[in-house]
Amino acid sequence: MIHETFVALDPKSAYAQAVSKYGHNLSIISAKQLAYDDGIVRCEVIIGIPRNIHLEKNSEIAETTLPKSEELVLLEELNLLKVQLKEMKTDLEEDTVQKEDEEESIVKVKKLFIRTGIDANWLNKIFLSLKDTDIVKDDALLVSYILEELDEIIQVKEESLSQKKIVMLVGSTGVGKTTTIAKLAARYAYLLEKPYKVVLFNLDSYKIGAIEQLELYADIMQIEHHTIFSVEEFNTKLQELKSYDVILVDTAGMSPYDTKKFIRTVEFMNIDSSIKIEVNLVLPATVKYEDMEDIYTNFSFLNLHSLIVSKFDETKHFGTLLNFMLKYHLPMSYFSVGQEVPDDLMVADKEYLLEQFIGDVHEE
Ligand SMILES: Nc1nc2c(ncn2[C@@H]2O[C@H](COP(=O)(O)OP(=O)(O)OP(=O)(O)O)[C@@H](O)[C@H]2O)c(=O)[nH]1
Ligand SMILES: [Mg+2]
Protein backbone atom coordinates (compact mmCIF):
# COMPACT_ATOMS: atom_id res chain seq x y z
CA MET A 1 0.00 0.00 0.00
CA ILE A 2 1.36 3.43 -0.94
CA HIS A 3 0.17 6.57 0.84
CA GLU A 4 -0.57 9.77 -1.04
CA THR A 5 -2.03 12.99 0.34
CA PHE A 6 -4.89 14.74 -1.43
CA VAL A 7 -5.86 18.28 -0.50
CA ALA A 8 -9.21 19.97 -1.06
CA LEU A 9 -11.69 22.21 0.68
CA ASP A 10 -13.62 19.21 2.00
CA PRO A 11 -12.84 15.51 2.51
CA LYS A 12 -15.31 14.43 -0.13
CA SER A 13 -13.56 16.44 -2.86
CA ALA A 14 -10.15 15.19 -1.73
CA TYR A 15 -11.41 11.62 -1.88
CA ALA A 16 -13.00 12.30 -5.31
CA GLN A 17 -9.57 13.44 -6.57
CA ALA A 18 -8.06 10.16 -5.41
CA VAL A 19 -10.85 8.15 -7.04
CA SER A 20 -10.52 9.96 -10.34
CA LYS A 21 -6.78 9.29 -10.31
CA TYR A 22 -6.69 5.71 -9.00
CA GLY A 23 -10.22 4.25 -9.13
CA HIS A 24 -12.30 2.89 -6.27
CA ASN A 25 -10.10 0.30 -4.60
CA LEU A 26 -8.69 2.75 -2.02
CA SER A 27 -8.48 3.06 1.76
CA ILE A 28 -8.76 6.21 3.79
CA ILE A 29 -5.80 6.37 6.15
CA SER A 30 -6.54 9.68 7.84
CA ALA A 31 -8.15 13.06 7.34
CA LYS A 32 -7.49 16.37 9.02
CA GLN A 33 -8.34 20.04 8.57
CA LEU A 34 -5.55 22.62 8.49
CA ALA A 35 -5.46 26.40 8.16
CA TYR A 36 -3.05 27.21 5.32
CA ASP A 37 -0.88 30.34 5.10
CA ASP A 38 -3.39 31.98 2.74
CA GLY A 39 -5.97 31.80 5.56
CA ILE A 40 -8.04 29.09 3.88
CA VAL A 41 -8.91 25.95 5.84
CA ARG A 42 -8.22 22.88 3.75
CA CYS A 43 -8.68 19.22 4.31
CA GLU A 44 -5.74 16.85 3.89
CA VAL A 45 -6.76 13.27 3.31
CA ILE A 46 -4.15 10.52 3.22
CA ILE A 47 -5.23 7.75 0.91
CA GLY A 48 -3.81 4.23 0.76
CA ILE A 49 -3.38 3.01 -2.82
CA PRO A 50 -2.58 -0.61 -3.74
CA ARG A 51 1.05 -0.67 -4.91
CA ASN A 52 0.31 -2.10 -8.38
CA ILE A 53 -2.37 0.50 -9.12
CA HIS A 54 -0.08 3.30 -7.94
CA LEU A 55 2.73 2.10 -10.19
CA GLU A 56 0.48 1.58 -13.19
CA LYS A 57 -1.21 4.97 -12.94
CA ASN A 58 1.96 6.91 -12.33
CA SER A 59 3.71 5.34 -15.28
CA GLU A 60 0.66 6.24 -17.39
CA ILE A 61 0.90 9.80 -16.14
CA ALA A 62 4.63 9.89 -16.95
CA GLU A 63 3.86 8.69 -20.45
CA THR A 64 1.09 11.18 -21.02
CA THR A 65 3.24 14.09 -19.93
CA LEU A 66 5.78 13.41 -22.68
CA PRO A 67 5.43 15.83 -25.62
CA LYS A 68 3.08 14.35 -28.15
CA SER A 69 3.80 14.06 -31.81
CA GLU A 70 1.13 15.31 -34.26
CA GLU A 71 0.55 11.72 -35.27
CA LEU A 72 -0.21 10.75 -31.66
CA VAL A 73 -2.63 13.63 -31.22
CA LEU A 74 -4.48 12.57 -34.39
CA LEU A 75 -4.58 8.98 -33.21
CA GLU A 76 -6.09 10.03 -29.89
CA GLU A 77 -8.73 12.11 -31.64
CA LEU A 78 -9.55 9.18 -33.87
CA ASN A 79 -9.92 6.89 -30.86
CA LEU A 80 -12.20 9.39 -29.20
CA LEU A 81 -14.35 9.55 -32.32
CA LYS A 82 -14.48 5.76 -32.39
CA VAL A 83 -15.76 5.66 -28.81
CA GLN A 84 -18.36 8.32 -29.55
CA LEU A 85 -19.54 6.43 -32.64
CA LYS A 86 -19.83 3.24 -30.64
CA GLU A 87 -21.93 5.00 -28.02
CA MET A 88 -24.18 6.46 -30.72
CA LYS A 89 -24.58 3.00 -32.22
CA THR A 90 -25.60 1.50 -28.87
CA ASP A 91 -28.12 4.30 -28.33
CA LEU A 92 -29.53 3.72 -31.80
CA GLU A 93 -29.78 -0.01 -31.18
CA GLU A 94 -31.55 0.60 -27.91
CA ASP A 95 -33.99 2.94 -29.63
CA THR A 96 -34.62 0.37 -32.35
CA VAL A 97 -35.42 -2.27 -29.78
CA GLN A 98 -37.80 0.12 -28.13
CA LYS A 99 -39.57 1.11 -31.32
CA GLU A 100 -39.45 -1.77 -33.69
CA ASP A 101 -39.73 -4.86 -31.60
CA GLU A 102 -41.86 -3.20 -29.01
CA GLU A 103 -43.86 -6.31 -28.91
CA GLU A 104 -46.88 -5.91 -26.82
CA SER A 105 -45.31 -7.66 -23.83
CA ILE A 106 -42.30 -5.34 -23.78
CA VAL A 107 -44.48 -2.27 -23.88
CA LYS A 108 -46.67 -3.62 -21.13
CA VAL A 109 -43.90 -4.86 -18.84
CA LYS A 110 -41.79 -1.77 -19.35
CA LYS A 111 -44.73 0.40 -18.36
CA LEU A 112 -45.30 -1.64 -15.21
CA PHE A 113 -41.69 -1.39 -14.07
CA ILE A 114 -41.07 2.22 -15.05
CA ARG A 115 -44.01 3.23 -12.88
CA THR A 116 -42.12 1.93 -9.83
CA GLY A 117 -39.25 4.30 -10.51
CA ILE A 118 -36.78 1.62 -11.58
CA ASP A 119 -34.07 2.91 -13.88
CA ALA A 120 -35.30 2.92 -17.52
CA ASN A 121 -31.77 2.52 -18.91
CA TRP A 122 -31.22 -0.59 -16.85
CA LEU A 123 -34.51 -2.02 -18.13
CA ASN A 124 -33.72 -1.15 -21.74
CA LYS A 125 -30.42 -2.98 -21.49
CA ILE A 126 -32.27 -6.09 -20.34
CA PHE A 127 -34.77 -5.84 -23.19
CA LEU A 128 -31.90 -5.41 -25.61
CA SER A 129 -30.14 -8.50 -24.32
CA LEU A 130 -33.33 -10.50 -24.81
CA LYS A 131 -33.86 -9.34 -28.39
CA ASP A 132 -34.95 -12.24 -30.66
CA THR A 133 -35.66 -14.58 -27.75
CA ASP A 134 -39.02 -16.02 -26.83
CA ILE A 135 -38.90 -14.36 -23.43
CA VAL A 136 -39.88 -10.99 -24.87
CA LYS A 137 -43.05 -12.49 -26.27
CA ASP A 138 -44.44 -13.46 -22.91
CA ASP A 139 -45.33 -10.98 -20.14
CA ALA A 140 -44.95 -13.42 -17.27
CA LEU A 141 -41.60 -14.73 -18.51
CA LEU A 142 -40.33 -11.22 -18.99
CA VAL A 143 -41.34 -10.15 -15.49
CA SER A 144 -39.67 -13.26 -13.99
CA TYR A 145 -36.52 -12.59 -15.98
CA ILE A 146 -36.28 -9.03 -14.66
CA LEU A 147 -36.82 -10.23 -11.10
CA GLU A 148 -34.10 -12.83 -11.55
CA GLU A 149 -31.72 -10.16 -12.78
CA LEU A 150 -32.53 -8.04 -9.72
CA ASP A 151 -32.07 -11.06 -7.50
CA GLU A 152 -28.63 -11.65 -8.96
CA ILE A 153 -27.45 -8.07 -8.58
CA ILE A 154 -28.78 -7.32 -5.09
CA GLN A 155 -26.37 -8.52 -2.44
CA VAL A 156 -26.97 -9.53 1.15
CA LYS A 157 -24.39 -9.44 3.94
CA GLU A 158 -24.97 -12.45 6.16
CA GLU A 159 -25.22 -11.81 9.89
CA SER A 160 -22.00 -12.98 11.49
CA LEU A 161 -20.94 -12.67 15.11
CA SER A 162 -18.19 -15.24 15.05
CA GLN A 163 -15.55 -12.53 15.53
CA LYS A 164 -15.52 -9.61 17.92
CA LYS A 165 -16.56 -6.47 16.09
CA ILE A 166 -17.41 -2.81 16.31
CA VAL A 167 -20.60 -1.97 14.44
CA MET A 168 -20.98 1.72 13.67
CA LEU A 169 -24.21 3.15 12.26
CA VAL A 170 -24.02 6.27 10.11
CA GLY A 171 -26.59 8.11 8.04
CA SER A 172 -28.49 11.31 7.48
CA THR A 173 -30.46 12.97 10.27
CA GLY A 174 -33.52 11.19 11.60
CA VAL A 175 -33.22 8.04 9.48
CA GLY A 176 -33.51 5.71 12.50
CA LYS A 177 -29.90 5.06 13.59
CA THR A 178 -30.53 5.18 17.34
CA THR A 179 -33.73 3.12 17.17
CA THR A 180 -32.02 0.53 14.98
CA ILE A 181 -28.95 0.32 17.20
CA ALA A 182 -31.20 -0.34 20.21
CA LYS A 183 -32.91 -3.12 18.24
CA LEU A 184 -29.54 -4.62 17.29
CA ALA A 185 -28.35 -4.46 20.90
CA ALA A 186 -31.41 -6.36 22.08
CA ARG A 187 -31.09 -8.87 19.25
CA TYR A 188 -27.44 -9.67 19.93
CA ALA A 189 -27.82 -9.67 23.73
CA TYR A 190 -31.07 -11.60 24.09
CA LEU A 191 -32.71 -12.83 20.92
CA LEU A 192 -30.20 -15.09 19.21
CA GLU A 193 -29.43 -18.73 20.00
CA LYS A 194 -26.59 -17.65 22.20
CA PRO A 195 -26.39 -14.39 24.19
CA TYR A 196 -23.57 -12.07 23.12
CA LYS A 197 -21.86 -9.53 25.35
CA VAL A 198 -22.96 -6.18 23.97
CA VAL A 199 -22.01 -2.62 24.87
CA LEU A 200 -23.42 0.58 23.40
CA PHE A 201 -21.35 3.66 22.61
CA ASN A 202 -22.89 6.98 21.74
CA LEU A 203 -20.79 9.46 19.75
CA ASP A 204 -23.67 11.88 19.34
CA SER A 205 -23.08 14.79 21.65
CA TYR A 206 -24.50 17.28 19.13
CA LYS A 207 -28.22 16.65 19.38
CA ILE A 208 -30.12 17.74 22.50
CA GLY A 209 -31.54 14.63 24.09
CA ALA A 210 -29.39 12.21 22.08
CA ILE A 211 -27.55 10.94 25.16
CA GLU A 212 -30.77 10.41 27.09
CA GLN A 213 -32.44 8.70 24.10
CA LEU A 214 -29.86 5.92 23.90
CA GLU A 215 -29.47 5.75 27.69
CA LEU A 216 -33.17 5.11 28.05
CA TYR A 217 -33.12 2.16 25.64
CA ALA A 218 -29.94 0.79 27.23
CA ASP A 219 -31.33 1.07 30.77
CA ILE A 220 -34.56 -0.69 29.86
CA MET A 221 -32.62 -3.50 28.18
CA GLN A 222 -29.95 -3.51 30.91
CA ILE A 223 -27.16 -3.13 28.42
CA GLU A 224 -23.98 -1.29 29.33
CA HIS A 225 -23.65 2.06 27.59
CA HIS A 226 -21.18 4.93 27.38
CA THR A 227 -21.25 8.38 25.83
CA ILE A 228 -17.91 9.09 24.20
CA PHE A 229 -16.65 12.65 23.74
CA SER A 230 -13.20 12.17 22.22
CA VAL A 231 -11.10 9.77 20.15
CA GLU A 232 -8.82 9.23 23.18
CA GLU A 233 -11.79 8.23 25.30
CA PHE A 234 -12.96 5.90 22.51
CA ASN A 235 -9.55 4.21 22.51
CA THR A 236 -9.43 3.84 26.28
CA LYS A 237 -12.95 2.44 26.49
CA LEU A 238 -12.24 -0.05 23.70
CA GLN A 239 -9.22 -1.31 25.63
CA GLU A 240 -11.27 -1.61 28.83
CA LEU A 241 -14.10 -3.43 27.09
CA LYS A 242 -11.99 -5.77 25.00
CA SER A 243 -13.82 -8.79 26.31
CA TYR A 244 -17.15 -7.75 24.76
CA ASP A 245 -18.38 -9.51 21.62
CA VAL A 246 -20.07 -6.56 19.95
CA ILE A 247 -19.53 -2.84 20.44
CA LEU A 248 -22.39 -0.93 18.87
CA VAL A 249 -21.62 2.67 18.03
CA ASP A 250 -24.33 5.26 17.43
CA THR A 251 -23.28 8.43 15.60
CA ALA A 252 -24.77 11.86 15.08
CA GLY A 253 -27.05 12.31 12.08
CA MET A 254 -25.06 13.90 9.27
CA SER A 255 -26.31 15.79 6.30
CA PRO A 256 -24.21 14.51 3.39
CA TYR A 257 -22.74 18.01 3.17
CA ASP A 258 -21.61 18.32 6.80
CA THR A 259 -17.83 18.20 6.41
CA LYS A 260 -17.08 18.72 10.12
CA LYS A 261 -19.09 15.73 11.25
CA PHE A 262 -17.60 13.58 8.51
CA ILE A 263 -14.07 14.42 9.58
CA ARG A 264 -14.93 13.70 13.20
CA THR A 265 -16.37 10.31 12.26
CA VAL A 266 -13.32 9.46 10.16
CA GLU A 267 -11.12 10.21 13.17
CA PHE A 268 -13.06 7.67 15.21
CA MET A 269 -12.87 5.12 12.41
CA ASN A 270 -9.14 5.47 12.08
CA ILE A 271 -8.25 4.46 15.60
CA ASP A 272 -5.70 1.72 15.79
CA SER A 273 -8.02 -1.03 16.92
CA SER A 274 -7.37 -4.72 16.65
CA ILE A 275 -11.14 -5.19 16.40
CA LYS A 276 -12.76 -4.86 13.01
CA ILE A 277 -14.98 -1.79 12.49
CA GLU A 278 -18.00 -2.33 10.29
CA VAL A 279 -19.64 0.88 9.15
CA ASN A 280 -23.31 0.46 8.23
CA LEU A 281 -25.15 3.10 6.26
CA VAL A 282 -28.74 3.53 7.45
CA LEU A 283 -30.84 4.49 4.45
CA PRO A 284 -34.61 4.94 4.60
CA ALA A 285 -36.63 2.97 2.05
CA THR A 286 -38.33 6.29 1.36
CA VAL A 287 -35.08 7.81 0.01
CA LYS A 288 -35.62 10.37 -2.73
CA TYR A 289 -34.07 9.66 -6.10
CA GLU A 290 -32.44 13.11 -6.23
CA ASP A 291 -30.69 12.57 -2.87
CA MET A 292 -29.51 9.03 -3.49
CA GLU A 293 -26.34 9.90 -5.34
CA ASP A 294 -25.19 12.57 -2.85
CA ILE A 295 -25.81 10.25 0.07
CA TYR A 296 -23.75 7.47 -1.47
CA THR A 297 -20.87 9.63 -2.69
CA ASN A 298 -20.50 11.33 0.67
CA PHE A 299 -21.00 8.38 2.98
CA SER A 300 -18.91 5.98 0.87
CA PHE A 301 -16.01 8.07 2.13
CA LEU A 302 -16.44 6.11 5.37
CA ASN A 303 -15.61 2.72 3.78
CA LEU A 304 -19.10 1.30 4.04
CA HIS A 305 -19.53 -2.33 4.97
CA SER A 306 -23.27 -2.72 4.42
CA LEU A 307 -26.67 -1.11 4.18
CA ILE A 308 -29.45 -1.09 6.77
CA VAL A 309 -32.74 -0.18 5.15
CA SER A 310 -34.88 1.73 7.65
CA LYS A 311 -38.51 2.84 7.54
CA PHE A 312 -39.27 -0.16 5.35
CA ASP A 313 -42.85 0.04 6.65
CA GLU A 314 -43.33 3.61 5.50
CA THR A 315 -43.56 2.93 1.78
CA LYS A 316 -44.84 0.43 -0.73
CA HIS A 317 -42.60 1.76 -3.47
CA PHE A 318 -39.13 0.31 -3.64
CA GLY A 319 -37.96 1.39 -7.11
CA THR A 320 -35.56 4.07 -5.88
CA LEU A 321 -34.12 1.78 -3.21
CA LEU A 322 -33.54 -0.92 -5.83
CA ASN A 323 -31.89 1.62 -8.12
CA PHE A 324 -29.54 2.44 -5.25
CA MET A 325 -28.58 -1.21 -4.96
CA LEU A 326 -28.28 -1.71 -8.72
CA LYS A 327 -25.99 1.26 -8.95
CA TYR A 328 -23.78 0.92 -5.90
CA HIS A 329 -23.77 -2.82 -5.08
CA LEU A 330 -23.72 -2.18 -1.35
CA PRO A 331 -24.92 -5.38 0.37
CA MET A 332 -27.88 -5.02 2.71
CA SER A 333 -27.80 -6.44 6.23
CA TYR A 334 -31.06 -5.54 8.03
CA PHE A 335 -34.48 -4.00 7.47
CA SER A 336 -36.00 -1.78 10.11
CA VAL A 337 -39.74 -2.25 9.71
CA GLY A 338 -41.27 0.01 12.37
CA GLN A 339 -40.67 1.99 15.54
CA GLU A 340 -40.93 -0.84 18.05
CA VAL A 341 -37.74 -1.83 19.85
CA PRO A 342 -36.70 -4.65 19.57
CA ASP A 343 -39.40 -6.29 17.46
CA ASP A 344 -39.34 -4.26 14.25
CA LEU A 345 -36.07 -5.52 12.85
CA MET A 346 -35.54 -8.14 10.15
CA VAL A 347 -32.42 -9.70 8.78
CA ALA A 348 -32.29 -8.46 5.18
CA ASP A 349 -33.91 -10.85 2.79
CA LYS A 350 -33.83 -10.54 -1.00
CA GLU A 351 -36.92 -12.63 -1.52
CA TYR A 352 -38.94 -10.50 0.86
CA LEU A 353 -37.75 -7.29 -0.78
CA LEU A 354 -38.57 -8.61 -4.27
CA GLU A 355 -42.00 -9.81 -3.12
CA GLN A 356 -42.79 -6.32 -1.84
CA PHE A 357 -41.47 -4.85 -5.06
CA ILE A 358 -43.53 -7.11 -7.29
CA GLY A 359 -46.61 -6.08 -5.27
CA ASP A 360 -45.74 -2.52 -6.25
CA VAL A 361 -45.20 -3.53 -9.91
CA HIS A 362 -48.64 -5.11 -10.18
CA GLU A 363 -50.48 -2.44 -8.26
CA GLU A 364 -53.10 -0.78 -10.42
N1 LIG B 1 -42.01 4.00 10.78
C2 LIG B 1 -40.75 3.85 11.19
N3 LIG B 1 -40.21 4.77 12.00
C4 LIG B 1 -38.94 4.60 12.40
C5 LIG B 1 -38.15 3.50 11.99
N6 LIG B 1 -36.93 3.62 12.54
C7 LIG B 1 -36.96 4.75 13.28
N8 LIG B 1 -38.17 5.34 13.21
C9 LIG B 1 -38.60 6.59 13.84
O10 LIG B 1 -37.89 7.66 13.23
C11 LIG B 1 -37.65 8.69 14.20
C12 LIG B 1 -36.15 8.99 14.25
O13 LIG B 1 -35.47 7.85 14.75
P14 LIG B 1 -34.04 7.91 15.43
O15 LIG B 1 -33.66 6.51 15.74
O16 LIG B 1 -34.00 8.90 16.53
O17 LIG B 1 -33.23 8.46 14.19
P18 LIG B 1 -31.66 8.88 14.17
O19 LIG B 1 -31.16 8.52 12.83
O20 LIG B 1 -30.97 8.34 15.34
O21 LIG B 1 -31.83 10.46 14.29
P22 LIG B 1 -30.61 11.51 14.57
O23 LIG B 1 -29.79 10.94 15.68
O24 LIG B 1 -31.34 12.76 14.94
O25 LIG B 1 -29.87 11.66 13.29
C26 LIG B 1 -38.20 8.16 15.53
O27 LIG B 1 -39.48 8.69 15.70
C28 LIG B 1 -38.27 6.66 15.31
O29 LIG B 1 -39.25 6.03 16.12
C30 LIG B 1 -38.76 2.52 11.12
O31 LIG B 1 -38.16 1.54 10.68
N32 LIG B 1 -40.04 2.76 10.74
MG1 LIG C 1 -29.81 9.28 16.83
Tell me which ligand sits closest to the C-alpha of residue 182.
Answer: 1
pLDDT at res. 27:
77
Rounded Cα distance between 182 and 355, Å, is: 27
Rounded CA-CA distance 83/263 in Å is 39
Beta bridge partners of 198: 246
Distance CA 333, CA 169 (A): 12
SS3 of residue 97 by DSSP:
helix
Task: Look at residue 141 in the predicted model and tell me its pLDDT.
Answer: 93
Among residues 31, 30, 6, 26, the alpha carbon closest in space to that of 259 is found at 31
Distance 282 CA to ligand 2 centre (A): 11
**pLDDT for position 62:** 58
Q: For ligand 1, what atom is nearest to the CA of residue 179?
A: 15
Nearest CA to ligand 1 atom 14: 176
**CA 118 from chain center: how many Å?**
18
3-state secondary structure of 133: coil
Give the chain's length.
364
- The Å distance, Cα 206 to ligand 2 centre, comes to 10
Cβ 338 vs Cβ 313: under 8 Å: yes
What domains are defined for the chain? 2-64 (3.30.1660), 70-153 (no CATH), 165-349 (3.40.50.300)
155 alpha carbon – ligand 2 mean position (Å): 26
Q: To test the ligand 1 pocket, which listed residue (169, 173, 178) has its Cβ within 8 A of the most ligand atoms? A: 178
Position 364 scores a pLDDT of 62
What pLDDT was estimated at residue 212?
Answer: 86
DSSP-assigned letters across all residues of 165-221: EEEEEE-STTSSHHHHHHHHHHIIIIISSS---EEEEE---SSTTHHHHHHHHHHHH
The whole-number mean pLDDT for each consecutive block of 10 residues of the chain, a chain of 364 residues, reads 87 84 81 77 84 85 60 77 75 59 81 89 91 88 94 95 95 95 97 96 82 90 94 93 95 83 82 87 92 85 92 93 92 97 96 90 74
pLDDT of residue 24: 79
> CA 24 to CA 15: how far, in whole Å?
10
What is the 108 CA–ligand 2 centroid distance (Å)? 43
3-state class (DSSP) for residue 247? strand
* CB neighbour list of residue 172: distance below 8 Å, 6 or more residues apart: 253, 254, 255, 256, 295
Pick the atom of ligand 1 nearest to 173's CA: 25
Atom of ligand 1 nearest to the CA of 310: 31
Select from 168, 179, 280, 307 the residue to mutate for testing ligand 1; criterion: most ligand atoms less than 8 Å from CB: 179
Rounded Cα distance, 306 and 279, in Å: 7
List all residues 6 or more positions away from 267 whose beta carbon is below 8 Å from its beta carbon: 30, 31, 231
**Calpha distance 73→79 (Å, rounded):** 10
Which ligand sits closest to the CA of 176?
A: 1
Predicted pLDDT at 299 = 87
- Identify the three-state secondary structure at position 248: strand
CA of 339 to the centre of ligand 2 (A): 13
**Rounded distance between C-alpha atoms, residue 202 and residue 92, angstroms:** 54
**Residues 6+ away with beta carbon under 8 Å from 357:** 116, 150, 318, 319, 322
Q: Answer for the pair 154, 349: CB distance below 8 angstroms, yes or no.
A: no
Residues 6+ apart with CB under 8 A from 184: 167, 248, 334, 345
So what's the pLDDT on residue 363?
Answer: 74
Question: Residue 177's closest CA among 291, 348, 267, 310?
Answer: 310
Cα(88) to centroid(ligand 2), Å? 48
CA of 254 to the centre of ligand 2 (A): 10
State residue 211's pLDDT score: 80
Please give the distance, rounded to the nearest whole angstrom, from the Cα atom of residue 179 to the centre of ligand 1. 6
Question: Which residue's CA is the closest to the ligand 1 atom numbered 17?
Answer: 176
Q: Which ligand is nearest to the CA of 282?
A: 1
Predicted pLDDT at 192: 96
The dihedral over CA atoms of 173, 178, 181, 185, expressed in degrees to the nearest 10, equals 170
Give the ligand whose atoms come closest to the C-alpha of residue 313.
Answer: 1
Provide residues with CB under 6 Å of ligand 1.
Answer: 171, 173-179, 204, 207, 210, 253, 310-311, 313-314, 336-339, 344
What's the gap in Å between 301 CA and the centre of ligand 2?
A: 20
Best of 202, 207, 265, 339 for a ligand 1 pocket test (most atoms within 8 Å of beta carbon): 339
